[in-house]
């Protein structure tokens, strides 16, 4: 009986809440949803998240003596001399390291010289006079962050630290203690107040409440100076002199600020992974900076610690050292100035061709275009490869997988496609993930020799690179491609290859102690590749009209396309070009397996001319392969079977193609039409290459007008077909 009363009372209470409280609940959760969406939109914003800062009245600029300038130049003169003597040697990595070391040494020397200037009279006294103004600015900014609230809830105490370059006056100390106490009292809690001195701050002081630092010191200004100086690399004395002049000019026009940032602490570092505490308000994918200058990206947020990957060398990051929020989501430079260059996953040049000036930046992670922002894929992207343009057509905005065993020509197809985009107003991005440096150098030289490097950016992270850089490389490439796509241009991006990308992500995930999934891979590898490849699209006219065509590459083991990673990417993409190792060993180049290759876009992205002449090509080739295998077990062949075998052999030979020799779409259609109509039946397969060369030459020089009709026409009408047949008969007679 009591249970019945309990149930009845519960139902009555639920009814009352439904009738009178649903609007309130909807409003509460609705506001929360709006707030979350707003925060996500801010996190995805293209612009950098700015550091909060406030200026206040500056004092008279100090005079910089020539001795300071000369001492700074002398400090790195030996290093610069070594760089100049290094010259144009091939070891660019050593050259870059020498330049980086010289820059660090020069900055440290200039900082020491500026510290001398500001520590002497009368500037030391003037800095002390500004302490009260700095404090007024800081007290207008201090607040309790969500991270501080969480810490107070669990610990019931908040640590407040004042660090100054010299002893503060009792009046300032009392004001700070009173303000901090009142701030924490508003949310219920206590403070633990600490006063410290650190002469390396040079002048001023900083207040730290929880993880947030309100910094008004001269050392912070010098840090900001160093970040803002964007000059060419220090490769000679002239470059060093310009950098010194710019640095001391900024010191002359010294204008103090109050900078607001958050600090955390390094707990452990190993194998390129860093675990930190603090930074309770940090976001996934945000960039952090260590005391030594290295940077990393947050990839894991747990209750008591934060995991991040380190972009550079991690050996000199020490446990207990400080780590700072940079204030922006991981991003890379984008723009026209990257075309023709080889850069790493962070957008830094690694080709030895000089400094890249700063440009616009885009986040490496960005939401894919919505369905309403997309248009159907209908424009062809010609690869210049006969077997692909005729059988597996690719459209602008499509995602077409290139899959096959090692050394079957996957990269060759991608490079040939890039070369074929010359003069077609298509920007190309080639992402080399875990490839040999010699291979990347060879691809660069090949693109340059064919005039394709001018519209191509190569992003290279070699096999010796860190797993973190291999992980972000394809996302960096997508960000660079998106810049052009949203500007209304067509882009081709190649990911070579996503198998190595999956291995790099697996390594990071296991180091971050994430549970392994199927076949020891992280279970979210599918989501990783889908959110990467979904960024490829053909935008609608309202969204800008640009397109991004993705050609991901996957390496199989012994032709097994049913493995975990291949099936993942096959299900994400709009088709696949399967390269068969048996065909490759037989001499078929490219070794495209017609039976397993497919384009789900199909003829929608193919010229009607090519669609017309190659309509039954796939069936005839498949029939030829089947008959060829069947004839291994028999010897009696009738005339029809012999004709099918002969025709199939000629078609197979006609589709062969050498590397770096793309063929125009109209010439491809011409060759396929000529072979299909029987004009090569009297030839042996060995003579097909010569037949093709003569056919192209004949129509380029003898039948130029008819060839132009094929190039401009969209379909082969009866009149043009008659003219074409007559021309082919004349060509055949002249052989």
Residue 99: its pLDDT value, please? 67
- The SS3 call for residue 363 is strand
Question: Both tokens of residue 147?
Answer: 């991270």
- The SS3 call for residue 235 is coil
DSSP category for residue 486: T
CA angle 358, 359, 365 (to 5 degrees): 115
Confidence of residue 188 (pLDDT cuts 50, 70, 90): confident
Confidence of residue 37 (pLDDT cuts 50, 70, 90): low
- CA dist., res. 455 & res. 447, Å (int): 10
DSSP category for residue 166: S
Tell me the sheet residues that pair with 215. 206, 259
CB contact at 8 A, 301 and 308: no
What is the 3-state composition of the chain as percent helix, strand, coil, each rounded to the nearest 5? 50, 20, 35
Catalytic residues: 600
Q: Which pTM was predicted?
A: 0.85
Write the pLDDT tens digit of every residue in 503-527.
999 999 989 988 877 666 787 899 9
Residue 80: its pLDDT value, please? 64
Confidence of residue 353 (pLDDT cuts 50, 70, 90): confident
The rounded percent of the chain whose pLDDT value lies above 90 is 39
Average pLDDT over residues 125-142: 82
Residue 66: its pLDDT value, please? 63
CB contact at 8 A, 287 and 329: yes
- The SS3 call for residue 232 is coil
Weakest mean pLDDT among 25-34, 304-313, 337-346 = 25-34
**Of 414, 402, 501, the residue nearest 458 (C-alpha):** 414
Confidence of residue 363 (pLDDT cuts 50, 70, 90): very high
Tell me the sheet residues that pair with 548. 491
The burial class, CB within 10 Å (0-12 / 13-18 / 19+), for 434 is: buried
For 51, phi then psi, to 5°, come to -75, 140
Q: Give the range with max mean pLDDT: 342-351, 473-482, 690-699.
A: 473-482
Question: Both tokens of residue 644?
Answer: 């099918």
CB contact at 8 A, 388 and 353: no
The rounded percent of the chain whose pLDDT value lies above 70 is 80
Q: DSSP string spanning 403-430?
A: EESTTSSHHHHHHHHHHTTTTTTEEEEE
Residue position matching structure tokens 């747990």: 302
Write the pLDDT tens digit of every residue in 16-31.
656 655 555 455 545 5
Residue 50: its pLDDT value, please? 39
């Amino acid at each position: 009986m009591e249970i019945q009363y309990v149930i009845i009372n519960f139902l009555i209470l639920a009814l009352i809440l439904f009738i009178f409280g649903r609007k309130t609940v909807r409003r509460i959760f609705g506001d929360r949803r709006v707030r979350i969406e707003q925060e996500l939109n801010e996190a995805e914003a293209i612009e950098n998240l700015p550091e909060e800062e406030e200026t206040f009245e500056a004092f008279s600029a100090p005079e910089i003596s020539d001795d300071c300038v000369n001492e700074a130049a002398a400090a790195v003169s030996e290093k610069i001399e070594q760089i100049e003597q290094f010259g144009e040697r091939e070891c660019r990595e050593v050259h870059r390291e020498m330049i980086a070391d010289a820059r660090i040494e020069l900055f440290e020397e200039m900082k020491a010289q500026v510290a001398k200037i500001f520590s002497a009279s009368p500037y030391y006294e003037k800095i002390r006079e500004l302490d009260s103004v700095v404090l007024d600015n800081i007290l207008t900014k201090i607040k309790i962050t969500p991270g501080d609230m969480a810490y107070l809830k669990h610990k019931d105490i908040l640590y407040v630290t004042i660090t100054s370059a010299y002893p503060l006056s009792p009046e300032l100390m009392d004001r700070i203690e009173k303000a901090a106490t009142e701030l924490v009292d508003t949310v219920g809690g206590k403070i633990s107040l600490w006063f410290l001195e650190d002469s390396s701050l040079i002048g001023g002081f900083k207040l730290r409440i929880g993880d947030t630092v309100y910094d008004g010191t001269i050392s912070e200004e010098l840090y900001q100076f160093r970040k803002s100086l964007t000059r060419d690399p220090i490769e000679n004395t002239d470059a060093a002199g310009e950098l010194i002049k710019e640095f001391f000019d900024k010191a002359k026009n010294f204008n103090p600020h109050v900078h607001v940032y958050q600090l955390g602490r390094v707990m452990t570092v190993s194998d390129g992974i860093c675990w930190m505490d603090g930074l309770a308000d940090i976001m996934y994918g945000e960039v952090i900076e260590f005391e030594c200058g290295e940077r990393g990206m947050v990839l894991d947020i747990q209750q008591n610690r934060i995991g991040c990957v380190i972009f550079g060398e991690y050996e000199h990051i020490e446990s207990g050292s400080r780590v700072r929020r940079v204030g922006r989501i991981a991003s890379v430079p984008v723009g026209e100035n990257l075309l023709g260059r080889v850069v790493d996953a962070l957008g830094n040049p690694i080709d030895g061709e000089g400094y890249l000036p700063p440009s616009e930046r885009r986040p490496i992670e960005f939401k894919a275009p919505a369905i309403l922002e997309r248009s159907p894929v209908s424009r062809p992207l010609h690869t210049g490869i006969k077997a692909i343009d005729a059988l597996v057509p690719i459209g602008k905005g499509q995602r077409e997988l290139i899959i096959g065993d090692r050394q079957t020509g996957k990269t060759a197809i991608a490079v040939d496609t890039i070369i074929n985009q010359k003069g077609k107003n298509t920007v190309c991005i080639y992402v080399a993930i875990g490839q040999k440096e010699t291979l990347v150098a060879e691809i660069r030289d090949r693109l340059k020799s064919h005039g394709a490097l001018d519209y191509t950016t190569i992003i290279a992270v070699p096999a010796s690179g860190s797993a973190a850089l291999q992980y972000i490389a394809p996302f960096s490439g997508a960000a660079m491609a998106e810049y052009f796509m949203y500007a209304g241009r067509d882009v081709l991006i190649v990911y070579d290859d996503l198998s190595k990308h999956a291995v790099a992500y697996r390594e990071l995930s296991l180091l971050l102690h994430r549970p392994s999934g199927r076949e020891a891979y992280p279970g979210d590898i599918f989501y990783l590749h889908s959110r990467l490849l979904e960024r490829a699209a053909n935008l609608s006219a309202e969204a800008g009209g640009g397109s991004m065509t993705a050609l991901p590459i996957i390496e199989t083991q012994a032709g097994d396309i049913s493995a975990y990673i291949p099936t993942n990417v096959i299900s994400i993409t709009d088709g696949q070009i399967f390269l068969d190792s048996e065909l490759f060993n037989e001499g078929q180049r490219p070794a495209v397996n017609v039976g397993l290759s497919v384009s789900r876009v199909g003829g929608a992205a193919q010229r009607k001319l090519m669609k017309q002449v190659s309509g039954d090509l796939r069936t005839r080739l498949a029939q030829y392969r089947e008959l060829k295998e069947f004839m291994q077990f028999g010897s009696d062949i009738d005339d029809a079977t012999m004709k099918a075998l002969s025709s199939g052999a000629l078609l197979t030979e006609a589709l062969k193609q050498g590397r770096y020799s793309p063929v125009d779409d109209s010439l491809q259609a011409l060759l396929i039409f000529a072979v299909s109509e029987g004009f090569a039946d009297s030839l042996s397969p060995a003579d097909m290459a010569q037949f093709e060369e003569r056919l192209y030459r004949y129509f380029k020089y003898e039948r130029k007008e008819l060839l132009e009709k094929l190039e401009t026409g969209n379909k082969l009408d009866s009149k043009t077909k008659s003219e074409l047949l007559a021309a082919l008969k004349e060509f055949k007679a002249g052989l």
